[in-house]
Amino acid sequence: MRVLRIAFPAWMLVLALVSLAPRAAQADTTTFYSIDFTATSSDPVDSPLPSGSFFYDSSTNVFTDFLLTWQGNTFDFTNNANDGVSINSSPSCLDGDSGAVASFLLMTNCPNSGWFAETSGNLFGVIEFDDVYDGTNNNLVSTQYNDFPVAVNVVEGTYTSNAQSSVTTSTPEPATLSLLCAGIILCGIRTSWRTKVNALLVRATSSRYWAN
């Protein structure tokens, strides 16, 4: 009795296994920071200080919910922080970066950083984070209001951003293309296998016919 031996193309098997292998996941790390404020000067004296916080994704360099709360009012710095620092000089603490990365470094890495708020004529107000370098302010683009809701003439001081918690999430790569490739390869293997089987059966049948 003759045994039919069918060999699959090695390259098809390798491609099938590679396509079915799990893809590496992308990890996003988001850290929550609280902002502690101090006042070095204030008018009026002993004005209540603001509180603040933000989330920063170090994988994508994006701020979310950068909020400052002061006297019952909420100021949103998120878009300004993602736009970046208005750089008038190049302090080493910004590492030559721009955009949200520069804003993050301003909030966490600059030793001469501070904050400032002021109400001027017609209740126009401004709040800003800045770093003083060579006598020049590098401002995180501040929030400005034509009707400033905080009862303060001017206040300035320092701040500290403190990391509170981090969350790392894994985002798998899309597997649709891999599954499609695997399906095509397996179909090719099946078709090739059936073709070889049919050819061997025809050959075996023909051999028995002529042998009789």
Residue ranges of domains in the chain: 27-171, 177-211
pTM value? Answer: 0.67
pLDDT digits (tens, 9 = 90+) for 52-95: 999 999 999 999 999 999 988 999 999 999 998 876 666 788 88
Three-state DSSP at 194 gives helix
Give the model's pLDDT for residue 195: 62
pLDDT of residue 210: 43
Helix H or strand E segment including 54: strand 51-57
Write down the pLDDT at residue 194: 61
- Give the residues of the chain that fall short of pLDDT 70: 1-26, 87-90, 121-123, 133-141, 170-212
DSSP 60: T
